[in-house]
């Protein structure tokens, strides 16, 4: 999902999740629910965690320090967190880092969303072919 630069990414979480469509190898509807979500601390909100629980999607999201302190103060236990699984998130972060090597993508010179999305698609294709 493409948003303005002043919009926080976590506000688009449910929109992105609803747009997931993974085709099945044979006949049948595409899958719309991933088995697991790995995200950074910016996605550690009560709303996002409730959404994932409702849809029965596993989550590996570290908690922010203020959330940990609040839980300890209230006597609640911490959310389950798998540091081994969380390490695999670096693949996505490295991909974003490679995208940012292209100046037009990193600075978003394009004013129209369609032009920017097209540029990101072209850069992804270039990176895929390398």
pLDDT digits (tens, 9 = 90+) for 3-48: 776 677 788 889 889 998 989 898 999 989 988 998 888 888 889 9
Quick count: other Cβ atoms within 10 Å of Cβ 94? 10
Mean pLDDT of 82-111: 86
C-alpha span between 91 and 77 (Å, rounded): 30
Kindly give the interhelix angle for 90-99 and 113-129, rounded to the nearest 10 degrees. Answer: 110
Q: What is the mean pLDDT of residues 68-85?
A: 75
Instruction: Residue 15: name the closest of 28, 2, 25 by CA.
Output: 2
Whether pLDDT at 55 is above 80: yes
Q: How many CB atoms lie within 10 A of CB 127?
A: 13
pTM: predicted TM-score of the whole model, two decimal places:
0.74
Phi then psi for residue 60, to 5 deg, are: -120, 95
């Amino acid at each position: 999902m493409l948003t303005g630069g002043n919009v926080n990414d976590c506000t688009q979480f449910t929109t992105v999740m609803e747009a997931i469509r993974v085709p099945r190898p044979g006949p049948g509807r595409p899958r719309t629910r991933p088995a697991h979500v790995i995200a950074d601390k910016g996605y550690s909100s009560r709303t996002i965690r409730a959404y994932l629980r409702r849809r029965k999607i596993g989550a590996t999201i570290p908690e922010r320090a203020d959330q940990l302190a609040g839980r300890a103060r209230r006597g609640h236990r911490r959310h389950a967190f798998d540091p081994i699984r969380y390490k695999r998130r670096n693949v996505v972060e490295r991909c974003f880092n490679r995208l940012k090597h292209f100046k037009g993508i990193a600075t978003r010179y394009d004013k129209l969303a369609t032009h920017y999305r097209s540029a990101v698609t072209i850069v992804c294709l270039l990176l895929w072919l390398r």
